[in-house]
Structure formats: structure tokens, C-alpha cells
């Protein structure tokens, strides 16, 4: 009898104590270190992070990926993704007009482009397993999957779920969640 009462006591004590949920702060962004290279490093780190959370349908998680830089990046002087223990990335510039030259690209980094070039590239990506990242679309409405954008105190990114849904890539939902909350914040 005594033991059963103790068990009852224990089961009562457990569900109790739901603490007030943490209040979410809308302003969120990656910390950008001070200095001239701070933003570049943050952008490259963010690009690398996104790449590391993306799975290509070929299933080779450690396979080398080719990142093609199209147009002039706005936030980074040089695109060099820092991928934490992820796949090695080769960076290759491709001329904005040369859509056929992107045949070997796994990742497109879209810098500043004309609307027509951008639309061409976005159209080219459709039905291909290619990740698109841009730093020239803070609202993330112009077709790229991930959009880097400066925030109040650093750097953030947004996701375009339509674009991700159209593409043939698998993206870790945790990253999508971060991107969405960033989108909300923006």
C-alpha cells in the first residue's frame, strides 16, 4: 500500500512544473565579427552552413560540390564557403550570360544580376538538383532557395519554400525553421 502511494506521489510530481515558455526574440541573426573581413567571413560561414545541411539526390554526402558564382556578390568580397566538416566545395565563376556553362554546377551563388539573367538562371535550375543561394534578394521572392541578407546587427538568411519544394534537394528542416523565423523577423 505504502509503495503504491509513493508511486502515485511520484507520478503526480512529474507532470507538474511546466515552466513559462521562453519568449522568442524576433530579431535574429548570425553574429558578425568586427573588422573588414567580418561580413565576408559571416557570409561564407552561412553559405557553408547551408550547404552542409543540404542533401543532393546522388546520396554522396561527402562528395565534392561545385559552387558557381554568377554575378557580383554584394555581401562578400570573395565567395569561399566555410563548410564545417562538410563536403569540399570548389568555387568557380560563371558568366551571367552563359547559362549553358552551369552544367557542372551543384550550387549557384547568385550575386547582383539583371532581372532577365536571374530569371534565366532560375528557369535553368528548375528540375535540376542545384542549390541556389543569393545575397541580392532580402525579401527572398525572386526564385532563389536561400537568401542572405544583412540584418540590424549582423547577417541572416531566409528560405523560399516554394523554390526548395520545386528543387530536387533535401534540406534539413531545422535550417528551414531558422530561415523561416528569420523571414518572420524580416
Partner 1 sequence: MSKRPSHPETARTTLQKLLSRFHFGITLFAVALSGLTILLAGVTALRGHADRTLELAAELGAYGTEPALVFNDPQAAREGIEPLTGIPGIARLRVLDDRGRALTEWTSPGEDPAPLLTRLFFPHPFSVPVRRNGSVIGTVEIWGNSSTLTDYVRLGMLAGLACLLVTACGTIILARRFEYELVKPLNEIATVAHDVRLHRRFDKRVQTLPIAELDRLGGDINALLDELQGWQGHMEDERAMLAHRASHDPLTAMPNRAAFDEQLDRRVRAARLRGERLALLFIDADNFKAVNDGFGHAAGDAVLVALSNCIKEALRPGDFAARIGGDEFVVLADTIDGAGDAAALADRFRACADAPMTLPGGDIYHASVSVGAAVYPDDGSDAAALLTAADASMYADKLSKGSQG
Q: Encode 111-136: b = buried (16+ Cβ within 10 Å), e = exposed.
A: bebeeebbeebbebbeebebbbbbbb
User: How far apart are the two ends of the chain, measured CA to CA in Å?
Assistant: 59
CB of 149 to partner 1, least distance (A): 13
CB of 29 to partner 1, least distance (A): 7
Report the run of H or E that residue 55 belongs to, with start and end: strand 54-55
Question: Contact positions toward partner 1, by CB under 8 A?
Answer: 1-3, 5-6, 8-10, 12-14, 16-22, 24-25, 27-31, 42, 45-46, 49, 52-53, 61, 84-86, 156-157, 172, 174-175, 177-178, 181, 185
Question: Nearer Cβ to partner 1, position 18 or 36?
Answer: 18
Question: Nearer Cβ to partner 1, position 71 or 73?
Answer: 73
> Can you read off the three cell numbers belonging to residue 99?
547559362
Question: Nearer Cβ to partner 1, position 45 or 65?
Answer: 45
Amino acid at each position: 500500500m505504502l509503495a503504491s502511494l509513493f508511486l502515485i506521489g511520484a507520478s503526480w510530481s512529474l507532470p507538474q512544473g511546466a515552466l513559462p515558455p521562453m519568449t522568442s526574440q524576433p530579431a535574429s541573426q548570425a553574429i558578425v565579427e568586427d573588422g573588414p573581413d567580418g561580413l565576408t567571413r559571416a557570409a561564407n560561414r552561412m553559405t557553408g552552413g547551408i550547404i552542409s545541411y543540404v542533401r543532393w539526390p546522388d546520396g554522396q554526402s561527402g562528395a565534392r560540390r561545385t559552387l558557381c558564382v554568377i554575378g557580383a556578390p554584394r555581401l562578400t568580397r570573395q565567395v569561399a564557403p566555410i563548410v564545417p566538416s562538410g563536403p569540399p566545395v570548389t568555387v568557380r565563376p560563371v558568366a551571367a550570360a552563359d547559362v549553358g556553362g552551369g552544367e557542372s554546377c551543384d550550387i549557384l551563388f547568385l550575386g547582383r544580376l539583371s532581372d532577365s539573367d536571374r530569371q534565366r538562371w532560375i528557369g535553368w535550375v528548375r528540375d535540376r538538383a542545384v542549390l541556389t543561394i543569393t545575397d541580392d534578394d532580402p525579401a527572398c521572392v525572386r526564385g532563389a532557395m536561400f537568401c542572405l541578407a544583412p540584418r540590424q546587427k549582423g547577417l541572416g538568411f531566409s528560405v523560399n519554400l516554394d523554390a526548395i519544394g520545386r528543387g530536387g534537394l533535401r534540406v534539413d528542416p531545422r535550417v528551414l525553421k531558422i530561415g523561416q523565423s528569420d523571414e518572420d523577423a524580416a
